Amino acid sequence: MVEATAEVQARVQASFERQGLMEHLGARISYIGAGEVHIQLPSRPEVTQQHGYFHAGATSSIADSAGGYAAFTMFPENTSVLTVEFKINLLAPAEGNHLEAIGTVLKPGRTLTICQLEVYGVTPTTRTLVAAGQQTLIQIEARAER
């Protein structure tokens, strides 16, 4: 893992903090590297489904943001990132003290970037892959963020 520059880390963190959904879920960025971002989501009743597992929507949302921001670390200043598409496979019930989504750039591009998505259920003694996917992102001219 190669840490992103301080400027890139600040740009990614500032953008992430403007995402209402991530704030609502209680997610936070735990690592910003060059082409790799980790997002953690603590377990709490508001992000679970009827059986007590993390909801697939919460799992997918942090995976999407982790991949999007991984791509964003590789984009030049004065650009923005948008998801074009993503596919996620839910591999096991998502449970643990928290989830950790990892977005990793597989192929950067001038316009489209492809990322790998992984989500782990984490306890003090285990780390289980609960979701895996792939994502396509587009680099666009910077747009105003709220």
Distance CA 30, CA 9 (A): 11
Structural domain boundaries enclosing 30? 6-141
What confidence score (pLDDT) does residue 19 get?
95
Instruction: Give a yes or no: residue 1 inside a domain.
Output: no
Q: What are phi and psi of 59, to 5 degrees?
A: -60, -45
In a domain, 146, yes or no: no
CA 79 vs CA 5, 8, 45, 88, 103: distances in Å = 17, 12, 36, 26, 19
25 inside domain: yes
Whether 75 maps to a domain, the answer reads yes
Number of domains in the chain: 1
Q: What is the model's pLDDT at position 72? A: 97
pLDDT, position 35: 98
Question: What is the reported pLDDT for 145?
Answer: 72
Residue 15 confidence (pLDDT): 96
pLDDT of residue 143: 76
Q: Which helix (H) or strand (E) holds 130?
A: strand 127-141
Angle at the Cα of 99 from the Cα atoms of 95 and 101, rounded to 5 degrees? 135
pLDDT (0 to 100) of residue 40: 98
Bridge-partner residues for 137, per DSSP? 83, 113
Whether residue 90 lies inside any domain: the answer is: yes
Q: Which pLDDT score, from 0 to 100, does residue 144 have?
A: 75
pTM for the predicted model, two decimal places: 0.96
Give the separation between CA 118 and CA 20, rounded to whole angstroms: 22
Please tell me the distance from the alpha carbon of residue 38 to that of residue 34, in angstroms, as a whole number.
11
Quick check: is 22 in a domain? yes
Residue 130 lies in a domain: yes
CATH of the domain at 78: 3.10.129.10
Alpha carbon distance 26, 59 (integer Å): 12
CA separation for the pair 60, 87 (Å, rounded):
9
* Within-domain flag for 66: yes
Low-confidence ranges of the chain (pLDDT < 50): none
CB 116 within 8 A of CB 103: yes
